[in-house]
Amino acid sequence: MAHRILIATSRYYEHISLELEAGVAEALADEDVTLETIEVPGAFEVPGIIAMAADSGRYDGFIALGCVIRGETSHYDYVCGESARGLMTLAVERRLAIGYGILTVENEEQALARADRKRKNKGRDAAVACLEMLKLRKKFVG
Ligand SMILES: Nc1c(NC[C@H](O)[C@H](O)[C@H](O)CO)[nH]c(=O)[nH]c1=O
Ligand SMILES: CC(=O)[C@@H](O)COP(=O)(O)O
């Protein structure tokens, strides 16, 4: 049966997220998966929405997408750190298969290079990781 994967994406930097989403779609085009996307305001909200969606039992795996760009204050550290921590907590404590595609960068130029499908394509990396964790989970959890 097709794996049901939810893409949880921050729209804070929408143009970056859209390119990451395109990278995911391209990477999974030939796989037996169904993809759904849900948007949240920022990276900080991504773990929360994945937790809610996981509770619904409708998804096998998750791909977290977004971009956090350093500003003038320490806010960046909280948004990046808490978002990653929340995702790791979900992955470890609830055995969720989560691909991590939230860019944490110094400037927009770095973000564009990492989102771009013709360059670093971090959307693809997150998609591949999610799929691989889904397969590995079968081995141990069923
Ligand atoms: N500065 C960035 C944010 N900040 C917003 C937070 O994620 C959050 O939505 C807000 O604090 C309301 O709860 N989000 C990003 O995704 N990227 C940023 O660079
Ligand atoms: C990552 C952020 O939240 C950042 O955009 C905030 O910028 P600032 O630290 O200049 O308020």
Tell me how many domains the chain contains. Answer: 1
Of 75, 85, 135, 138, the active-site residue reads: 75
Is residue 75 part of the annotated active site? The answer reads yes
Maximum distance among all Cα pairs of the chain, rounded to whole angstroms: 48
75 CB within 6 A, ligand 2: yes
How many CA atoms lie within 13 Å of 50's alpha carbon, on the beta-carbon side?
Answer: 32
CB count, 10 Å around CB of 30?
Answer: 7
Atom of ligand 1 nearest to the CA of 41: 9
Q: Note the ipTM here.
A: 0.97
Residue of the nearest CA to atom 8 in ligand 2? 71
Assign 74 a pLDDT band (cuts: 50, 70, 90).
very high
CATH number, residue 63: 3.40.50.960
d(CA 34, CA 23): 15
**Of the candidates 91, 99, 108, the residue with the CA atom closest to the CA atom of residue 27:** 99
From the centroid of its chain, how far is CA 94? 16
What confidence tens digit (pLDDT) does each residue in 9-47 have? 999 999 999 999 999 999 999 999 999 999 999 999 999
| Annotation: binding site for 5-amino-6-(D-ribitylamino)uracil | 12, 43-45, 67-69, 100
Which tokens belong to 11?
């729209």
What confidence tens digit (pLDDT) does each residue in 108-124 have? 999 999 999 999 999 99
The domain in which residue 66 lies consists of 3-140
